[in-house]
Each structure stands twice: as structure tokens, then as C-alpha cells.
Amino acid sequence: MITLGELNMLPAHEFVARLAGIFEHSPWVAARAAAARPFESSQHLLAVMRTAVAEATPEKQLALIRAHPPLGLRGRARTGLTAASSREQRGAGLEACTPDEAARLDELNAAYVEKFAMPFVLAVRGHTPQSIIATCERRLANDAVSERRTALHEIGMIAGYRLAEVVSDAGN
């Protein structure tokens, strides 16, 4: 963990390196935020990073969404997961899915990608395999515009959880 004060003092390339994983495979978000230093709090930093995403081009936003792995990957497919994604999915019980739950999640992931051309993204903290399945089923009824907005909102929530694990406001 790094304090916000220490983070504010880092050279830009080190700042980006420390925060590169906050938004899945998208260090450009941290790079855009670096110019807004110094940050008064980790919540201020998070708000600036979320704003960078909100102000990005639709193509950049879609690339960010597509950088997220499908939920519930098993076996060799999990090797592409970042440590953060793996930890989050494990915490939601996705590694312990029943075979029926895993099969249903695979079906839903495929249907979601077919309909929206992007992966189903959900901040899984506090979820169970059953609630993840129910959420995906419900969100499949959305239109593409609202689903993209929902995915970006979920990514912002994921970023908040990840940032809290990396940056401390202590000593600020």
C-alpha cells in the first residue's frame, strides 16, 4: 500500500505504474489522472479517474469494457486473469460454482457477448454465483446504450474497491 502523499510525489511514469491495474488493462486512465495531481484524498483521485473514463471517446470506453474478462472462467481460461480479477471472482465464490451454475454462467456470458459485443461486467464484491447469474439474466433485457452505461458504472465501482486496496489516505 502507498500513501496518497507518496503517490502524489512520484514521477508520472511511476504514478501510472502503481495505478495501472485500477482499471483493467487500461493504464491510460492513470496516465490521464496523473496530470491532475496533487490529490486531496483517494476519493478525489477516484473521481478524477472516473471522469477520465467518462470523458474518453466511445471507442476508448468500449476498449476498457472489453478489457474485462468473462465472469466465472474455469481451468486454463483463468490464466489470462489479472491478480485483481482472480481475487475478486474468487471472493464472489465463482471458483466454487456448481457445474450447473458454471454452465449457466457460460451460457449467459455467451448470450451477453452476442447481444452487446462486450463482456458482462459486474463489480462482484458482495455477490454470490446465484446473484451474479440473476443480475446477468436481468441485464440481458437492457438496450445497448443503457448496458454500456451500466458496464462503465460497474467498472467505476471495481476501480473504487481496487484503489482502496492500493492507496491509503493516512498521513495525508
**Cell numbers for 148:** 454500456
* Predicted confidence (pLDDT) per residue in 8-37, tens digit: 999 999 999 999 999 999 999 999 999 999
- Cβ–Cβ < 8 Å for 65, 151: yes
Does 25 participate in catalysis according to the annotation? no
- Evaluate whether 37 touches 88 at the Cβ level (below 8 Å): no
Using CA atoms, how far apart are residues 129 and 117, in angstroms rounded to an integer?
23
pTM: 0.91
Percent of the chain with pLDDT over 90: 77
pLDDT at 93 over 80: no
Catalytic residue among 44, 68, 127, 153: 68
Pure H helices in the chain = 4-9, 12-19, 28-34, 42-54, 58-66, 83-91, 99-116, 129-139, 144-166
Would the pLDDT of 66 be above 90?
A: yes
